[in-house]
Structure 1
């Protein structure tokens, strides 16, 4: 029973907190986002919440898989730091991009996010190939999102 609660918490924290903060950050932003010039490869708006819910779920499962080893060591501390950093950066980005219209700063922050996720994935790989594999879609999406953020910023500099 304890493992089910750990799994639920590992998934629930990123999904629930990400959903709440994402909703707050993007409140009243839909109209403005629709009016922005966007690159041709920009997806429809509904793709973002579906994608982020999926990614938050898989990153939570990945963290759970890594944590199942129950080792308190340097690697565990590094993972906890990298994972916490990536979550914090993930939660900050929609505020920068949508709420505060700081798209250039959001791009720089997203680059840091990509780096934190990549480092975290590297650490996961040291103990759990499954945890590492679960992070690959996240890195792929962030790579795409970086390009999307950059092009949107460039198209709307004025």
Structure 2
């Protein structure tokens, strides 16, 4: 089977790797620069039953950043479809908000800012997932684990705030 001459050329696979790596590197930088992780401040917080062991966070976020990078790439390569620009704009918004969370929580050592900041991250990610669905349902499905994790992370952040705020 041959592609018709009217079909848009497929971007090379290195662009997929770049999108995935870009999201992963941004997430790692946000965490590293804000001092997230096993710090004396974080260890001293009272954590509720929802808080997972520390090793879960880097594993979960690595998988999630790779998935969201691949999802954004799928929508980007369908940029000619209606709603693709809006979907990518919402994706960029949620990514900026996501990257702001670690500096708010860990960098400023503020359980209140962490609990408050995560809500717009969740809302923007949910909006991006809905917009992705209109462009590429598979891309939306790739965002679903991230949105579910954000629902869980919101509950964890609010529980930590309630116990320490």
Q: TM-score, normalised by structure 2?
A: 0.88
Alpha-carbon deviations, 1:12-39, whole Å to 9, x = none?
Answer: 1110111122111125852221111000
The one of 87, 100, 103 aligned to 1:95: 103
Partner of residue 147, structure 1: 155
Q: Check if 1:43 corresponds to 2:52.
A: yes
The 1-side partners of 2:44 and 2:35 are apart by: 14
Q: Check if 1:61 corresponds to 2:61.
A: no
Partner of residue 134, structure 2: 126
Partner of residue 9, structure 1: 18
The structure having more radius of gyration, on CA atoms, is 2
Partner of residue 3, structure 2: none
Aligned partners of 2:36 and 2:102 also within 8 Å? no
| Aligned residue-pair number | 156
The 2-side partners of 1:128 and 1:72 are apart by: 9
SS of corresponding position for 2:50: coil
Distance 1:29 1:44, change over 3 A: closer
Say which structure is richer in helix: 1
RMSD of aligned alpha carbons: 1.7
Stretches of structure 1 lacking an aligned partner (at least 5 in a row): none
- Residue 72 of structure 1 deviates from its aligned partner by 6.6
Q: TM-score, normalised by structure 1?
A: 0.91
Runs of 4+ in structure 1 over 6 Å off: none
- Residue 128 of structure 1 deviates from its aligned partner by 1.0
The 2-side partners of 1:76 and 1:124 are apart by: 7
